[in-house]
Structure 1
Amino acid sequence: MGRLQQPMMTRKLEQGAVIYSEGSTIKEISIIVKGSVKASGNYGENIINTGNVIGILDLGTGRYLYNYIANEETLICYFQIETVEDVCNVMAADASYPGMIISSLGKQMISLAGEFEKLKGLSEEIYNFVNEEYAEYKNVCEGYHKESATIKRIEALEEIDEDSIIVTSDLDYYVNLDLIPLETKKKFYASNEYVMMTEIKRIQEYAFEITEAYEIVIAYVNRVKDALFAKDEDNLFMRLAELAFLINESNGDIALIWSRIKNIADFVTNEKCIEQSALPVLVGHFKTKIKVGADLDDEQSNLTRQYTLDQIKGARILAKNSLDTILDYSEIDKEKGDKFKQYLTVYNSLPDKFATTDEVDKLRKAITKLFYEIYELVFFKSEETNVAEPIIDMFLNYGYVDERFVTESQLLQLIYYKRDDTKSEYPIYSMKEWLQEIYHGKAEPSKNEFDLDYIGVLREKKKTHHVSEAEEKAYMSDIDGRVRFEITNMFRVANRVTSGKVLTFCPVLHKDLIVGSIDKFIQQKASIEKAYEELQKIDYSLFYRTILYHDSSKGITKEYVEKKVLPITILMPNVGTKGTMWQETSGVKKDTPARFALPILSKETPEELLIHVVGRYRWEICRNIQGVYWSDITEKSLTSEYYDYIQFYKKNRDISVQVKEKIRNEIAKARNNYREVFVQDYIQWIKYEAKGASRLNKVARTILMTYCPFTKEIRSDLANFPAFSDLIEKYELQLAAKIKKIENSYVSIRNSGGKITKELEDNLEFYKQ
């Protein structure tokens, strides 16, 4: 490289030795020659193994981001350094360093970005948790016939301002960078200094960007935490304690109050990011003031209030050695079964099951691989025997594997949960029920990641190599093969996606994923149906498709009508935070139902899960129907107009400079994915604009009013709002013209001796909504 090489020095460290302290000024960087280093601090923790670098990721901030501590006896070689440019001198020491260092930086970015995503999830989680516990506090007060106090901190709480968090780094890029063989990276980055330094600087910029965003979110989390517990009176803990002291003085039972306090304590102690030093002091003080004899930690007493002793005893007997029951039922190879048990034992002993270290990641992958193999065997066995067994159903529907992995209360709730089996027009299935639909030939398997369905894969096979008529017939009639196709191509991927924990996903149900009662997490079919109905009370045309209709026997030759096509909803057996729009149609025909996947257990409401899903559906169904013209502005559609708006917003004179800057930030947050920009606007449209709260710019609002119009009732309410009045007036004129045209067409049908069918009546009624 033509530079003076930096002198390399070595340092041998005993286990536990501090290498660099979090926040201290960077004076050197190190390469781990032997052993491993634990990085921990405000930005999470991870293990950095042999061959990786310490300090270069941090260099962009000028300070060490973590406490770097020798995880075992460790040997490092280190270089004194002051600026990013000094990195070039380090590179001169060895041609393998550039690739090795960038590979290490990529791994550390995955860890940092993963921790940030978890923290962002926590900011929403703690906000919802505080409000839920506040509502529970009011219910408890009502139960004790006491007046609840107003907690100003909670009343004033607002969700975190997403616009203040700008993170443009692409996590998928670093995940894929990590997949490239190290030797390839060494050769590539050693070949060009400019490319190597540009990559390093970009990673450092992203790291700086994430740490700044991290500080914003952590400050918000700890501000919300004060509404849960603090040393003053304006928080939930103190108000619950105040109520407990009052009830206890009159010898009342404070078990309900304690359950709320314990729920707060459990939530906080499970989240390392939340500052919690005052919590044990407050809990200890609370316990000392309660009269002796109040058995606060007796979970048994709480269980007996909900279940009979016979139910508790029966559940314990039923669930005893659940894992052995599942493995025996599956008839999996004993060696594999023993490995699965071994992996789960190690997993259950982990202090942090969401760690991003290589060792824990390998463990989760090993568990996941065997889980799906066992799942497939268990499903086929359950269909062959046709015998309902609670533990087997819990495994298939919730991912339950072992009674040790859940609390006794959660176990009882799962066993005695009464599922909602009422018939509904909405096709909603648990994973077991959905696989049964395919097994019994009532549904076709879903598409795979390459957008090919079961028949599409056969066509590809026929293109690439000869498939005999007998092989084709066997493939088409292979019911077991269809189920395996669904498990491999949809279930495995959708299960991970809906978990919301792409980097730390493990498919087994574990109490560490759930705070409090499991029955509050179960997504009930009735609640999902209600969420769909509520969405359609705003966006009434959401699930309608335009189709060509004719009935020569009734004198109808050609009419375009709106047909309602409700989506299929499949509940993945996981504890998750996201829904996914898996495919916008179920087949080649445009009037087949979409397929959505949701987690069966989630702290999110069905409305929150579905609003993101239907936003993506809105985009993808339009793109599907428009085909190659989806972005062609000469063919007016939702996607073409929105694509044109985003692509040319900088030149749009109807958009102010301030709004253009906001759009630029939104595009950056969506990583230049136009669909995701639309989804965020759609969410604003449903949640806020429908109530008259202006959140969108004029151009976006016009597009959404055109293609995702509000119901007549909402339009009437918004007609006097300046931001909506002109748009609604124009929409109503166009709608009136459309209705008039349809009515004239129906008059022509009648005059020709035809008959207006229910389909035509429903179509006219649709436009009058």
Structure 2
Amino acid sequence: MFLLAQARPILVWPEFSWVPVINGTIFVVLLVLAGYYLEKRFRNSIERRAFLRARILKRLPLNDLNGRDVIQIHTFLDHASVSVLQRIADSSSWFQEAFLPEFAHYLAHQGELPAWRDVLIFKRLQHLVHDLGPHPKKILPVVFLTDGEEAFPGFLYSGIPGADFVQKSLHAKVFTKKLYHSFPVSPGEKIHVLFSGEEKDWVRFEATVLSIKTNDIGIQVHSVPEKDPEKTRIWGGIQMVGAGGEQEDTPLPDEFKGSLSQILKYGGMDSSTNGDIQRRVHAFKEHPGLVRKEHKPEEIQTFIQLYAACYARYRSDVSPIPKPVLLFLYFFFLDETLLSPSRIVQLYSTLEKLRSRVQDSHPSHHTLAVYLLPEWLGLILAGKKTPSKNHLAQSYEQVKASIVRRTGTDEFETQSGIADLLHLLDWELSNLLFNGLIGVSSNPNLAYPILSEDQMYGETDSFLITPEKLNAVVDYVHKIDRHLFYRQISFEPEQSPGKPELAMKEIFPDCIILPVFGNRGVLWQEITAGLTSRGRLVFPQVLNENVTLAITRTLGEFRWEMERTVRGRKWKDSSPPSLTSEYYLYLENYRKSPAMTPDAKKTVDQQMTKYRKNLKDMFSSDYSYWILFESSGKLRLNRVSRDILNRYVPFSPSTRAELQKHPILKESMDSFEARKRRLVSGIKKRYNPYFQTGNVPVEVLETIQFFEEM
């Protein structure tokens, strides 16, 4: 006890101090005050935004605009900063000097509409809005068109050009679209300027670019404005006849009346599902843009269920099929009030032409096959095509096997043949149609399957992707890039079994056209079962973009993904160098590259921002410029990317012969010819033992032909 008493106490109570209490109190008070201040500022900002938004909307006659255009304006006001809204609301010439340029910039970069559609919206707004300014500037909405048919919306700060405008210099603004680079024209180059006239005609004149500074450009008019019948036919226009515009005078055929009821009756689904679909279609008619923006994936799946039910009956029904059902299966047409009567008649006329086309069910490996969705589903159900993989890259058979392993029973074994086919149909539509619909839209939030009039302006056929259009563009690209569909495979020669050889083989992909609206094509699956299987490309039936550019970009995506698939995990490795590794290193080190100018580096910075550093999208964009512009001597790429594409995506010999005359491209063409000679010599030396035996494998002959035709 004595020892314990002599020990030091284990716990010593600290001496009390008010300093921590005061500091803690001050911290809590400051925290509460900061929270109160931030909350008050946030609340005031919301109230201020709501006040300014309401003030601007009060000036806009939205009741006279197309429903989707109204949603575009609302979305712009939701995204605009308070300072921008304040400037619009306070400007004396609020519409032309503040609202229109800001709205144009938003619509060009964030919207998924083509440039000429933006211009028609601007023109319609100008017609309906009376500017409050005493002396508003004259602004003419125009489309700037490059020689390669790249279209950009913009404004011309002048009145309507006439014959007296020739050789005059004008100030203009141009707004770049989200899917492309910056405005790809340099000072001194020629462009075409188009504007919509008062009689619903598009008028064109030529001009030269004098200067470019961000969005502001100076141009000099070179020709007298003339009507362009081709663009008028394709793009259409808006005739300013009162608030309602031009009236539809084509009567609706009786067989299309009550289309939604006919489609639901043909599908034979339960009454609750039918009622749900009717409510969704009604909501879409009332608020088309809002529904597309705020829909849930379950809504699209409901429409896909209706599609599956209608297709299942269509495949087995021998009785006459109602015309609205056919339009639904091929175009996702649901309600006759969503399209004009003349549009419906044109669609059905086009459908008859499409259905009369004979498609080979067993295309060879050297033929591009194009299928509409009903044709593709027929091949899947007939076992002639492999079902698509799901979002986890699992095949249909793998998922069935995993269910058996998990449950211990094979529920598919007890199903009848019809039930199994219906299950397979649901699988294909749930994967291909659902994911394809989202993939073909540059803004997935606005992807919705219902066909409506606001997706098509002008002539109907100009918006539809047909097998003939698709094949024409692919043939054009293939003539320039002869090795587009070649891929590296491995094979075992009969002469030396067990010793695999590498060879190049040409395998064309399958192209599937979905009955939906979109503005791009996508690579659905690069391969389905092994490197020798055909890949799959998906395109929308209604394409609201330049057909040639959209298809070429998709082919560039196909080329990139096939190279990545063949290389596997080593697609970034530079030993040996490849297209993917070289392009990856170029984007990793472009800021340090001595071969690139500051302007070229700035352009790549903009490209990285626009495509969110997605290498596939960046490469497909460069590929489209390489094929469509650089192949004809119009420079669009920087020196480093041009060198990579010249080595791994060479032009055809005839194209290179033409470019020998180009002062900048001649050196690249000469260096490739020297490289080609070394490659051909090396490949012949490698395969020389087969020629000595006199028994040369077909794969070897194709590989030698591949290098000789480079």
Q: Give the structure-1-normalised TM-score.
A: 0.64
Indicate conservation of the 8 Å contact 2:236/2:458, yes or no: yes
Cross-structure match for 1:412: 345
- What secondary structure is seen at the aligned counterpart in 2 of 1:562? strand
Distance 2:179 2:549 in 1: 22
State the shift of 1:624 in Å: 0.9
Cross-structure match for 1:328: 265
Q: Aligned match of 2:399 in 450, 457, 480?
A: 457
Cross-structure match for 2:425: 483
* CA distance 1:623–1:365, change in 2 (3 Å): closer
Distance 2:683 2:567 in 1: 23
Q: Aligned match of 1:639 in 565, 580, 594?
A: 580
Q: Aligned match of 1:421 in 349, 352, 357?
A: 357
* CA distance 1:262–1:693, change in 2 (3 Å): closer
Q: Aligned match of 2:249 in 299, 303, 315?
A: 299
Amino acid at match of 1:45: H
Asked whether 1:547 is paired with 2:489, we answer yes
Q: Aligned match of 2:458 in 504, 516, 519?
A: 516
* CA distance 1:355–1:150, change in 2 (3 Å): farther
Superposed, which structure 2 residues align to 1:584-599 within 5 Å?
A: 584-587=526-529, 589-599=530-540
Superposed, which structure 2 residues align to 1:177-216 within 5 Å?
A: none
Distance 1:411 1:683 in 2: 34
State the shift of 1:412 in Å: 1.5
Aligned residues: 574
* CA distance 1:344–1:47, change in 2 (3 Å): farther
State the shift of 1:584 in Å: 1.0
* CA distance 1:388–1:751, change in 2 (3 Å): farther
- What secondary structure is seen at the aligned counterpart in 1 of 2:81? helix
Asked whether 1:707 is paired with 2:707, we answer no
Cross-structure match for 2:9: none
* CA distance 1:607–1:388, change in 2 (3 Å): farther
Indicate conservation of the 8 Å contact 1:705/1:727, yes or no: yes
Q: Aligned match of 1:764 in 699, 704, 708?
A: 704
State the shift of 1:598 in Å: 0.5
Cross-structure match for 2:476: 534
Cross-structure match for 2:16: none
Cross-structure match for 2:302: 370
The answer to which of 563-572 and 318-327 deviates more is 318-327
Asked whether 1:338 is paired with 2:338, we answer no
Cross-structure match for 1:355: 290
Q: 1:728-758: CA deviations, max 9, x gaps?
A: 223222222332344456664343242x465
Show structure 2 runs of 5+ residues with no match: 1-30, 42-47, 57-68, 91-102, 121-141, 146-161, 183-190, 206-224, 361-366
Show structure 1 runs of 5+ residues with no match: 11-16, 26-39, 49-53, 68-110, 133-148, 169-212, 214-222, 244-255, 267-278, 285-295, 301-311
Asked whether 1:571 is paired with 2:524, we answer no
Superposed, which structure 2 residues align to 1:113-262 within 5 Å?
A: 117=109, 119=111, 121-123=113-115, 125=117, 227-229=195-197, 235=203
- What secondary structure is seen at the aligned counterpart in 1 of 2:393? coil
- What secondary structure is seen at the aligned counterpart in 1 of 2:537? strand
Superposed, which structure 2 residues align to 1:9-20 within 5 Å?
A: 20=51
Q: Aligned match of 2:73 in 25, 31, 44?
A: 44
Cross-structure match for 2:33: 3
State the shift of 1:6 in Å: 4.9
* CA distance 1:605–1:674, change in 2 (3 Å): closer
Cross-structure match for 2:315: 383
State the shift of 1:665 in Å: 2.1
* CA distance 1:406–1:707, change in 2 (3 Å): same
State the shift of 1:387 in Å: 5.1
Indicate conservation of the 8 Å contact 1:555/1:749, yes or no: no
Indicate conservation of the 8 Å contact 1:509/1:574, yes or no: yes
* CA distance 1:736–1:159, change in 2 (3 Å): farther
Distance 1:561 1:374 in 2: 46
Amino acid at match of 2:197: F
Distance 2:532 2:666 in 1: 34
State the shift of 1:708 in Å: 0.9
Amino acid at match of 2:619: F
* CA distance 1:478–1:720, change in 2 (3 Å): same
Indicate conservation of the 8 Å contact 2:301/2:430, yes or no: no
Percent identical among aligned pairs is: 21
Amino acid at match of 1:58: S
Distance 2:226 2:672 in 1: 56
Cross-structure match for 1:735: 676
Cross-structure match for 2:657: 716
State the shift of 1:678 in Å: 1.8
- What secondary structure is seen at the aligned counterpart in 1 of 2:514? strand
Distance 2:488 2:76 in 1: 55
* CA distance 1:224–1:728, change in 2 (3 Å): closer
Distance 1:436 1:150 in 2: 58
Indicate conservation of the 8 Å contact 1:43/1:116, yes or no: no
* CA distance 1:457–1:160, change in 2 (3 Å): farther
- What secondary structure is seen at the aligned counterpart in 1 of 2:503? strand
Amino acid at match of 1:328: K
- What secondary structure is seen at the aligned counterpart in 1 of 2:541? strand
Q: Aligned match of 2:86 in 48, 58, 63?
A: 63
Superposed, which structure 2 residues align to 1:599-638 within 5 Å?
A: 599-638=540-579
- What secondary structure is seen at the aligned counterpart in 1 of 2:427? helix
* CA distance 1:159–1:482, change in 2 (3 Å): farther
- What secondary structure is seen at the aligned counterpart in 2 of 1:481? helix
Indicate conservation of the 8 Å contact 1:670/1:677, yes or no: yes
Asked whether 1:264 is paired with 2:237, we answer yes
Amino acid at match of 1:353: P
Superposed, which structure 2 residues align to 1:276-315 within 5 Å?
A: 279-280=240-241, 299-300=249-250
Cross-structure match for 1:304: none
Distance 2:536 2:171 in 1: 33
State the shift of 1:526 in Å: 1.3
Distance 2:508 2:556 in 1: 15
Distance 2:192 2:562 in 1: 39
Cross-structure match for 2:19: none
The answer to which of 325-334 and 650-659 deviates more is 650-659
Q: 1:673-703: CA deviations, max 9, x gaps?
A: 2222222221221122111222222221121
The answer to which of 433-442 and 503-512 deviates more is 503-512
Cross-structure match for 2:593: 652
Indicate conservation of the 8 Å contact 2:112/2:519, yes or no: no
Superposed, which structure 2 residues align to 1:739-758 within 5 Å?
A: 739-744=680-685, 748-754=689-695, 756=696
Amino acid at match of 2:304: Y
Distance 1:488 1:586 in 2: 17
* CA distance 1:532–1:151, change in 2 (3 Å): farther
- What secondary structure is seen at the aligned counterpart in 2 of 1:658? helix
* CA distance 1:692–1:366, change in 2 (3 Å): same
Distance 1:160 1:579 in 2: 29
Distance 1:607 1:152 in 2: 33
State the shift of 1:529 in Å: 0.8
Q: 1:441-472: CA deviations, max 9, x gaps?
A: 11122122222222343465567x35446758
Amino acid at match of 2:238: A
Amino acid at match of 2:331: Y
